[in-house]
Structure 1
C-alpha cells in the first residue's frame, strides 16, 4: 500500500491557518511589552472598580430572578386560595337557604313555625 502524504499535509496546513481568538488578540496587543516591568499598578483601581461593578451586577441579577420566582409562586398561591374561597362561599350560600336549614334541623326533631312572627310594641304611660 502507498502512503497518503497529501492528506497529512493538507490537515497540517489547515491547523496552521486556523487561529483562535486569543492568539489573534495576543498578536494585536503585545502583553510582553505591557508586563515587561511588572504589573502596571496604574490600572489596578480601574480593574478593581469594574470587578466590583460586575460582582454587584451578577448579585443583583440573582436577586431579581429569585424575587420574580417568589412573586410567581405567590401569585399561584393567591389564585388557589381565591378558588377555595369562592367554593366555600358558594357552599355556604347553599347551606344557609331556609330549605337546607329545615332539612338539617329535621334530624333534631325540630320543625318550622307555620305562624308568622309578630311584633311586640310597648306603650308608654
Structure 2
C-alpha cells in the first residue's frame, strides 16, 4: 500500500499572491471589520448596483431600438410598394381602362366655359 507523504508546495506567484504578501490585511481585520470602512463599502456597493442597473437598462433599450428599426424598415418597404402601385393605378389611361366596363368613357372634346349674362 502506498504511503501518504507531505509534498511541499511551491510558493504562489501571481497578482493576488503578491497582494496577500505585501498588504497587511491580517493585521487590519484581526478584530473584525473596522466600522470606519462601512460607509466606503456601502457607497462602493451602491455605485456597483447603479452601474449594473444602468447596463441592463441600456441593453434593454438597445434591443428595443433594434426591433423598432427593423419594424420601420418593413413599414417603409410596404409604404413604398403601396405608393408606387397607387401612382400606377391613378394614371389616366389605367383609370379609363378600369371604368370602360361601366360604360364611362373619356371625352374627346375639350372643356369649355359657360358664361352667363346678368
TM over 0.5: yes
Structure 1, gaps ≥5 residues long: 1-11
Tell me the number of residue pairs that the alignment of Structure 1 and Structure 2 aligns.
112
- Return the TM-score normalized by structure 1: 0.75
- Return the TM-score normalized by structure 2: 0.78
1:42 aligns with 2:66: no
Tell me which residue corresponds to 2:93.
Answer: 99
Tell me which residue corresponds to 1:72.
Answer: 66
Inter-partner Cα distance in structure 1 for 2:25 and 2:12: 21
What root-mean-square deviation, in Å, do the aligned CA atoms of Structure 1 and Structure 2 show? 2.1
Q: Give the secondary-structure state (helix, strand or coil) at the position aligned to 2:113.
A: coil
Inter-partner Cα distance in structure 1 for 2:18 and 2:116: 107
Tell me which residue corresponds to 1:30.
Answer: 24
Cα displacement string for residues 12-40 of structure 1 (whole angstroms, at most 9, x for unaligned residues): 67x61454543333222233211111211
Cα displacement string for residues 68-124 of structure 1 (whole angstroms, at most 9, x for unaligned residues): 222222222222222221211111111111110111112223222222222222333
Structure 2, gaps ≥5 residues long: 1-6
